[in-house]
Structure 1
Amino acid sequence: MPLRYTLVFLLAIVLGQISDYTDKLFFKVNDEDFEHVSGVLRKEDYTFVSQIISGIYVFQKRGLTGKLSEEDLQLIKSYDDKIQTVEQVRRWHIQPTSDGLTGQNLGVHDSRYGMGIGDAWNFSMTGENVTLGVLDVGVDITHPYLLDNIAQQLSWNYDSNTSDVSPGYQRSYGEFLQLQDHGTNVCGLLSANSNESAPCAKGVAFKSKLAIIKVAHLDVKVGILADDDNIAGGLAHRTDTISVYVNAFTYRNTFRNLNFATEVVLEQGTRIGRQGKGSMFVFPSAKIGGGLENKIHTIVVSGVNPNGSVPASVASNAAVLTSALAYSFSLMSAGMSTTAGIYSDRKCTDKFGGTSASTAFLSGILALVLQANPGLSWRDVMHIIVQSSEHESLKSESSNFTPNAAGKYFHAMFGFGLINAEKAVSLARTWTPVGNMFAVTGTHLSQRSCRPLVDYVTSHPCWLLKYIVTNQLVRYNTSEQHSNDTFRRVSSKICNDMSCSFGFEIKCAHYCSCASTVEQVQVSITCHTSNPKTTSVYITSPSGTKSILVQEGQISTKDIVTDVLMRSVNFWGENATGLWIINISITDGTIFNANVSSIIISGTNAIASGDMPCEELHKSMTASPPGQATVSEDLMDSNAKTPKPREKSALEATIAVLFLVCILIGSIIFFYLNADHAPVIP
C-alpha cells in the first residue's frame, strides 16, 4: 500500500471523516426466536439487514454513530432474554497485499512457472471441477481471459447486496485504479486461460471456476473499506460449492481478535463446507496478532523473493504454514504477468506482486490438489501443504530453517518453506485421511504483574498456595471433536524484572480423546508495558523446540495487547504431552504486566493398534457424518464429575502441607523483617 494512501486514511480518522464502527450490529439468536427478537428490535428502531449463517443476524440501528460502550451493548442484550450475544460491526481499511513491482517480462509465460506447477500440469491437473471464491473489491468479469471461468451464478456483491461484482472503476481518481484492479489481478494468477500468443500467463488452475465475492468498496477519500458483516457473509457464501476462499488482503490493525460472527463462520466452513469435508480459507501473512491468521481454520501463506530471500514487506509470523513466490513465476525469473482491467490498450499487467500474488499461487495449487483427490478434508490439505513445502531450494535462506522435534524444518517468515505443486498433487493422489481433530486446553483465573521474584514472595507469603488453589482442571470441546482431556496449569511461573514464564503441563487423562500429536498451538496473551517495542514472546515445546510469536519491535506503543489470541504451527508433528513454556520478556527491564490466560493444542490422536477401548471409541466418533463426530454421553459425564475420593484427598493433603509451609515461610520472614540487620551495600 503506497504511503500516501495510509497517510490520507489516518488524516481522515483524525478529522472524523470516517469511523471504525458502523451503525450495524451482529446478534446471536436461535433461529426459532428470530421473529420474536426482530419484533423487539423494531420497537427500538432497528432494521433487519441480513442473516450471516444460522443463528447470526445483522441489524441496523437508526441514528447510531461512533463506538458503543460495553454498557451500551449489555443494555441492548437486555432488551430480550433470547438475545445471546451482541457485537458492533466494525469497518476496516483493508490492505491488498500487492506492491506493484515491474517485472519487465510480458510475453513470456508458461515455461516460467516454478513451484512444481508445470510438473503438476503434466499430471493433467488443471483445477477442473474445483470452484474458488475470490473475496476482493470486485473483478472485471468481462475480461476476455477470465470470462470463460467466471461462475456468475455463484457470484455476489455483499457490499451493495446486488449481483454486480464489478470494481466500479473510478477513472477520475487514477491513483486508486491499481487498488481497484486488485481482484482482477488475483483472478489472472488463479484461472486465466489465455492462449499461447497472449501476453498474460495462464492461471495456475486455468480450468477452475471463479465465484467473485465483492466485500469491499473504494472510498476516494481513504481507500478500500470493508465492513465485518460483508466479510463474514462472503466467507459463508455458498460453502456447498466453493472449495477454497481466496482472501488476498489484510487488516491494517494489529493485535485484534475476530468478531464472534466471523469466528463461527470459519469454524462452520471447515465443519460443513464441501459437503462435510471442509472449505479452505487462505490468507496472506499479515500484521502481527491479526485475528484472521490466528484461527486454526485458516491457512496463512507468506511471500518469497525471486532469489529465495525474504521480501522487505514480510515479517516474522509463527502462523505461516507455507510460502509461495511473491514477485515472479519461478525463483530464477524476474517478474510475472497477470490480467488487468484498467488499461484501454492491453489486458495484462506486470505491475503486480507481493503476498497477494503468493495467496493466489497457493490457492491455485490447492485447486490442483483437490482435483487430484476431491475427498480430502481441510486438515488433510493442511498436512499435505506441510509435507510438500521445501526449504532446500531457498538457498539464501535455507540455513535459517530450524528442524522441530518431528524433523520438520520451519522458518520464522516462510513457515515450512516454498510450496511445491507437484509434490502436493502426488501426495494427494494416494493420501490416507488423518481423521478427526482433537484439542486440549487450559485456563486459569489469576493475573499478576511481573516483578522480581523475591519482591513477590515477600509481599505475598502464601503466593504459591494461592496460585495453586485458584487454578482449575477444565474440559474443552472443539467444534469438530469433543475432547475431554484435562490440562493442568502448573506452578512453574517465574517472574523477574526481565521476563515471565508460564508453564502448562499436558497429561492425557483419557488417551482415546487426547491430541497426542501437535498440529497447531494457540495462546491468549496479555502484555502491558511502558516500552512495548522491546517485548518478545515465544513458546517452548516439551521437546525443546522454540517458536517466536512476537519479535522485538513488533509491538508498538499504540498496540493494546489484552487476551489476544496468537498461533503457532511450528510444532507440527511433535508429541503434545509434557511441559509447555510461554515466555514474555522485555529487554530493558521495565516492570510490566503480562499474562497467558489460556493455551490450546490441536492435533491428531495416535490410537495404538490393538488397544480395543480406544479403537471402539474412535469408531463411534468417526461413524458420525464428517465434521459432526461426538463423544458418547457416558464419557463426557464421567469427565465432568467431581474427582475420585482418593484424588481429592491427595489434593487436600498437598494443600495442607503447602499451608503449613506458607505459615513457616511467613513466620521466618516476619522475624527476619523485625530483626536488626547490617546495611546491605549494593
Structure 2
Amino acid sequence: MLDQPYMTDLIEANSMGHEPNLIDIYSASWGPTDDGKTVDGPRNATMRAIVKGVNEGRHSLGNIFVWASGDGGEDDDCNCDGYAASMWTISINSAINDGENAHYDESCSSTLASTFSNGGKNPETGVATTDLYGQCTKSHSGTSAAAPEAAGVFALALEANPQLTWRDLQHLTVLTSSRNSLYDGRCRFMPDLGIKDNTPYHGDAKNCSRYEWLMNGVGLEYNHLFGYGVLDAAEMVLLARVWKTVPARYHCEAGILAEPVEIPSDGNLILEIRTDACRGSDTEINYLEHVQAVISLNSSRRGDVTMYLISPSGTRSVILSRRPKDDDFKDGFTNWPFMTTHTW
C-alpha cells in the first residue's frame, strides 16, 4: 500500500478490507505526520472498512487491527491520531530495554499496551528482524517495530484459542500486560486541577521509576505512556486457553452538552455529565471498555488546550495533552472522538 506514489481513502480502505476471512491480524505502522501539530485520521471509506472488519471479519469473530501509537515524542499526543486512537484498533507504544520510555514515545489515553523497541544509549539494542529480500537488519525502530511485535503476540493467543473475538483479545491484553519496571524518564506528572478524585499516585515524584502509574476503579494499574504495561506472551497464551468469550458489546450515550461554553483564559473549565449507564434499557452498561468524549472545540491556539476526563470513581485520563508546536487557530476539533481505555 505505502509504495504508491500517492495515498487515497480508497487505497487505504481496500488494504484494510483485504481478505478479512483469511487474514486474522492487520498490523499498521503508519498514520498522520508526527510533527506535533497535525490532527488527522481515517476518512469515511477506510473507517467503514475497519469497522466492517471488526464486526464481520474472521467469520464474525472480528479482525484485529494493531496500530503503532506514533513517534511524535513528548510534544505530540496520539489522541490526535484518529487511527491509533480508534476504539476499533489496538494502539501499541514502546519502551527501551531498561524500561524507560523511548524519546519518540507519545503519551495518550488510548494506548492499550507496549512492547520493546529501540532508543537506548547502546546502538546494539535495536530490533533485529528480517528485511526486504530476506536480508537481516538491526535498524527496525520506533513504534513501527513495536506494533508488529504485538501482532506476533496476538497471533500466538489466537493460535492457542482461535475462537477469541476482537474484544476478547483486548481484555487479555489489559489483564496480562506487565508493569515491570517501566517508567517515564522525564518525570512528567499531572498538575493539580483543584478537582477531587480518587486516583492514587504510586510512589514519589522524586523517583521516576515508581511514578506516574495510576490505579483505576477496579484496581488495574495504567499509564499514559505504556497503557497497561508490556505485553506478556506467555501469560496471554495461558489465559487465552481457558478464556470464556465476553458478553455482547453495548453502546451507551452518557449525555450531550449542546450549548457552547467558553473556556476562561486564566483558569479551568469543568463540565459534568451525570449518567445512569442506560440503566433499564437494552443497552445497560455493567462494565466499561472504551470511553469516548466526542468534542468540538475552537481555540486561539489549539496546542495550549489540555483536557481531562474523570470517571465517577475518580479515574483520571488526559485525553488531550499540551502540544507546543500546534499553533492552529482556525480548524480546532470538530466532533473529534477522544478515547480512553483507562476505565476498563
Q: In which range does the TM-score fall when normalised by the shorter chain?
A: 0.7 to 0.9
After superposition, the C-alpha distances for 1:144-195 in whole angstroms (9 at most, x for unaligned) are: xxxxxxxxxxxxxxxxxxxxxxxxxxxxxxxxxxxxxxxxxxxxxxxxxxxx
* Larger RCO, structure (CA 8 Å, separation 6 or more): 2
- 1:478 corresponds in structure 2 to none
Does structure 1 residue 237 correspond to structure 2 residue 237? no
The 3 A distance-change label for structure 1 pair 293 and 340 is: closer
Q: Displacement, 1:349?
A: 1.3
Q: How far 1:512 moved relative to its partner?
A: 5.2
Per residue, is there more strand in 1 or in 2? 1
4+ residue runs over 6 A deviation = none
1:352 aligns with 2:144: no
> Amino acid of the residue matched to residue 415 of structure 1?
G
Aligned CA distance change for structure 1 residues 365 and 328 (closer, same or farther; 3 Å): farther
> Amino acid of the residue matched to residue 64 of structure 2?
M
In structure 2, relative to structure 1, the CA distance for the partners of 1:298 and 1:555 (3 Å cut) is farther
Cα offsets for 1:397-455 (capped at 9, x unmatched)? 45321111111111111100111000000000000111210111145473324166xxx
- 2:310 maps to which residue? 540
| In 2, Cα distance between equivalents of 1:279 and 1:554 | 36
Q: Report which of the two structures shows the higher radius of gyration computed on alpha carbons.
A: 1
Partner of 2:203: none
SS at match of 1:441: coil
Residues 95, 102 of structure 2: 8 Å contact kept: yes
Deviation at 1:325?
0.6
C-alpha distance in 2 between matches for 1:235 and 1:544: 37
1:352–1:431 Cα change, 3 Å? same
Q: Greater helix percent: which structure? A: 1
- Structure 1 residues 243-254: aligned runs within 5 Å: 243-252=24-33, 254=38
Which residue number corresponds to residue 213 of structure 2? Answer: 401
1:562 shift after superposition: 2.2
Residue ranges of structure 1 left out of the alignment (5+ in a row): 1-214, 220-224, 453-495, 573-682
**TM-fit CA distance, 1:297:** 1.0
Query: For residues 554 and 542 of structure 1, what CA distance do their matches in structure 2 show?
Result: 31
Q: Deviation of residue 216 (structure 1)?
A: 2.0
Could you tell me which of 257, 266, 282 is aligned with 2:66?
282
Could you tell me how far 1:271 is from its partner in structure 2?
A: 1.1
Tell me which of 12, 18, 39 is aligned to 1:255: 39
User: Residue 450 of structure 1 is aligned with which of 242, 247, 262?
Assistant: 262
Contact 1:255 1:564 in 2 (8 A): no
- What residue is the counterpart of 1:549 in the other structure? 319
2:156 paired with 1:384: no
DSSP 3-state at the match of 1:506: coil
1:217 corresponds to: 3
* 1:568 to 2:340 alignment: yes
Sequence identity (%): 26
Amino acid corresponding to residue 547 of structure 1 in structure 2: S
Deviation string, structure 1 residues 243-274 (Cα, Å, up to 9, x no partner): 00011112217323532222221211111111
Between the aligned partners of 2:255 and 2:146, the Cα distance in structure 1 is 36
**1:21-79 residue CA offsets vs partner (Å, 9 max, x unmatched):** xxxxxxxxxxxxxxxxxxxxxxxxxxxxxxxxxxxxxxxxxxxxxxxxxxxxxxxxxxx
Question: 1:470-481 maps to which residues of 2 (within 5 A)?
Answer: none
2:67 pairs with 1:297? no
Contact 1:365 1:421 (C-alpha < 8 Å) held by counterparts:
yes
Check the 8 A contact 1:216/1:227 in 2, yes or no.
Answer: no
Q: Is 1:371 equivalent to 2:159 in the alignment?
A: yes
Cα deviation, 1:326-371, whole Å, max 9, x if unaligned, reads 1299x9x8233211237xxx82111221111101100000110000
The answer to whether structure 1 residue 270 and structure 2 residue 42 are counterparts is no
Deviation at 1:393, TM superposition (A): 3.6
**For the Cα contact (< 8 Å) 1:217–1:226, is it kept in 2?**
no
- Go from structure 1 to structure 2 and tell me whether the alpha carbon gap of 1:527 and 1:256 turns closer, same or farther (over 3 Å shift): same
RMSD between aligned alpha carbons? Answer: 2.4
Superposed CA offset, 1:95-126 (max 9, x none): xxxxxxxxxxxxxxxxxxxxxxxxxxxxxxxx
Q: Which whole-Å CA distance do the structure 1 matches of 2:116 and 2:171 have between them?
A: 20
Q: Residue in 1 aligned with 2:243?
A: 431
1:260 aligned partner, one-letter code: N
Q: Are 2:127 and 2:145, in contact at CA under 8 Å, matched by a contact in 1?
A: no
Contact 1:392–1:398 (CA under 8 A) maintained in structure 2: no
> What amino acid maps onto 1:502 in structure 2?
L
Matched, 1:362 2:150: yes
CA distance in 2, matches of 1:393, 1:449: 42
User: 2:271 is paired with a residue of what secondary structure?
Assistant: strand
Q: For 2:87 and 2:44, how far apart are their aligned partners in 1?
A: 15
Q: What amino acid maps onto 1:406 in structure 2?
A: V
Deviation at 1:226, TM superposition (A): 2.3
Which among 225, 230, 252 is matched to residue 440 of structure 1?
252
Kindly indicate whether residue 125 of structure 2 is the aligned counterpart of residue 334 of structure 1: yes
Q: How many residues align?
A: 305
C-alpha offsets along residues 478-529 of structure 1, whole Å, 9 cap, x if unaligned?
Answer: xxxxxxxxxxxxxxxxxx8523222222213315531221111111122222
Give the TM-score of the pair, scaled to structure 2. Answer: 0.82
Q: C-alpha separation between the residues in 1 aligned to 2:100 and 2:147?
A: 18
CA distance in 2, matches of 1:557, 1:421: 41
TM-score where L is the length of structure 1 = 0.42
Give distance in 2, aligned partners of 1:524 and 1:379: 22
Structure 1 segment 98-177 matched on structure 2, within 5 A: none
